[in-house]
């Protein structure tokens, strides 16, 4: 593939955006749907770019139109070779799509896969690589990508310096308004050029906890910190999350203590989350933890210390012991759900 021609072609087609849709076990990730919506909003503001999406691997596309909203084409590389992520195969596939569409901007929802794939693509495409949430100027134009720096004590905005850009959208990058329904066409992506044979293959994949919901994807997150006291103490949060249909997150102190897996850590060195409801239990609210919840909707905090910094960012605060508050909260939620 001639990468020079990709770049030259893009200078003429600056208004073509490609959104990468990530699937896990055939289900398109919610974070990718949110990324699509943000890009739809961005395109509407920046003069109506043409948007398409690339979905690698066999996946259920039956509800995509309803879930995604807006207008565009989803190119579905419904090939077994793409069921699991392989860097070479995915690089090849995205490069092919970028060239085929003449795209100038590629967007991912930030994820482990995106963090592995995007830098590889940026080298191959000689593209600017940005991450954070989309920021718009006062005039509504794209100003770049904004993210926290220096332990969330400052914000920095980055703008692409190259004609092609690749952006990893943090989970805080949600479209600010509802995306109207449109027409989403799903078409097969026919592989051309080099085959994907001969690339490396994933030999083993170990699922640590099959039932665990991803905090970065969840609409409700109940998180625990050192104040939960022990691994056993988190059973109350598992119960609450189950009742609410949410995910259980943790502070670094709880993860370092071995009470929860690192995948559930929220904050500067963990995940950024953007749930509609975030319940912080026995978490002090250190700046490095708050760095991960800046895009949460409503924040509720339960803490014995009425001066804990978490109360400064909470919409509702309960001063109390989690061992006493949570069982009553769980009972109240259970009762409420029974009556519904």
Ligand X SMILES: Cc1cc2nc3c(=O)[nH]c(=O)nc-3n(C[C@H](O)[C@H](O)[C@H](O)COP(=O)(O)OP(=O)(O)OC[C@H]3O[C@@H](n4cnc5c(N)ncnc54)[C@H](O)[C@@H]3O)c2cc1C
Please tell me the count of residues contacting ligand X according to CB under 6 A: 27
Contact 26, 59 (CB under 8 A): yes
Angle between helices 87-101 and 112-125 (to 10 degrees): 60
Identify residues 228-267 at the interface with ligand X (CB under 6 A): 251-254, 265-267
List of long-range contacts for 308-316, beta carbons under 8 Å, 24+ apart:
308/284, 309/284, 309/285, 310/280, 310/283, 310/284, 310/285, 311/285, 312/285, 313/285, 314/280
| Closest CB 40 distance from ligand X, rounded Å | 31
321 binds ligand X (CB under 6 A): yes
Q: Which is nearer to ligand X, 8 or 324 (CB)?
A: 324
Nearer Cβ to ligand X (160/267): 267
**Phi and psi at residue 267, in whole multiples of 5°?**
135, -165
Told to check if 286 binds ligand X by CB under 6 A, we report: yes
Q: List, in order, residues 6 or more apart from 322 with CB less than 8 Å away.
A: 224, 227, 228, 229, 233, 236, 281, 282, 302
Candidates 14-22, 50-58, 158-166, 298-306; binding stretch for ligand X (CB under 6 A): 298-306
Q: For residue 5, give the nearest of 118, 96, 129 by alpha carbon.
A: 96
Nearer to ligand X, 279 or 308 (CB): 308
32 contacts ligand X (rule: CB under 6 A): no
Can residue 222 be called a binding residue for ligand X (CB under 6 A)? no
Q: Which of 288, 294, 295, 333 binds ligand X (CB under 6 A)?
A: 288
Indicate the residue among 143 and 212 with the shorter CB distance to ligand X: 212
Interface residues toward ligand X, by CB under 6 A: 225-227, 251-254, 265-270, 282-284, 286, 288-289, 302-305, 308, 321-323
């Amino acid at each position: 593939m001639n990468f020079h021609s990709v770049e030259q072609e893009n200078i003429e087609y600056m208004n073509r955006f490609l959104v990468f849709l990530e699937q896990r076990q055939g289900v398109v990730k919610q974070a990718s749907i949110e990324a699509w919506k943000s890009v739809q909003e961005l395109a509407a503001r920046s003069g109506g770019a043409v948007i398409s999406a690339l979905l690698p691997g066999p996946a259920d596309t039956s509800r995509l139109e309803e879930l995604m909203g807006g207008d565009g084409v989803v190119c579905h590389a419904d090939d077994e070779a793409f069921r699991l992520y392989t860097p070479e195969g995915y690089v090849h596939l995205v490069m092919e799509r970028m060239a085929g569409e003449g795209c100038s901007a590629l967007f991912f929802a930030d994820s482990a896969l995106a963090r592995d794939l995007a830098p590889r693509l940026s080298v191959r495409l000689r593209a600017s690589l940005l991450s954070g949430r989309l920021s718009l100027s006062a005039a509504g134009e794209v100003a770049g990508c904004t993210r926290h720096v220096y332990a969330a004590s400052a914000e920095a905005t980055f703008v692409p310096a190259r004609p092609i850009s690749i952006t990893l959208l943090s989970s805080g990058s949600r479209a600010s308004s509802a995306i109207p329904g449109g027409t989403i066409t799903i078409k097969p992506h026919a592989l051309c050029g080099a085959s994907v044979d001969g690339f490396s293959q994933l030999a083993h994949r170990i699922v640590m906890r099959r039932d665990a919901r991803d905090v970065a994807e969840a609409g409700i997150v109940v998180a625990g910190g050192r104040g939960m006291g022990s691994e056993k103490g988190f059973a109350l949060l598992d119960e609450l999350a189950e009742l609410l249909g949410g995910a259980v997150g943790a502070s670094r102190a709880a993860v370092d203590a071995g009470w929860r897996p690192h995948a559930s850590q929220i904050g500067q060195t963990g995940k950024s989350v953007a749930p509609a409801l975030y319940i912080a239990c026995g978490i002090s609210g250190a700046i490095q933890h708050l760095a991960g919840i800046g895009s949460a909707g409503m924040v509720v905090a339960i803490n014995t210390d009425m001066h804990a910094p978490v109360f400064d960012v909470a919409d509702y605060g309960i001063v109390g012991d989690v061992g006493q508050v949570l069982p009553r909260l769980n009972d109240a939620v259970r009762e409420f759900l029974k009556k519904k």
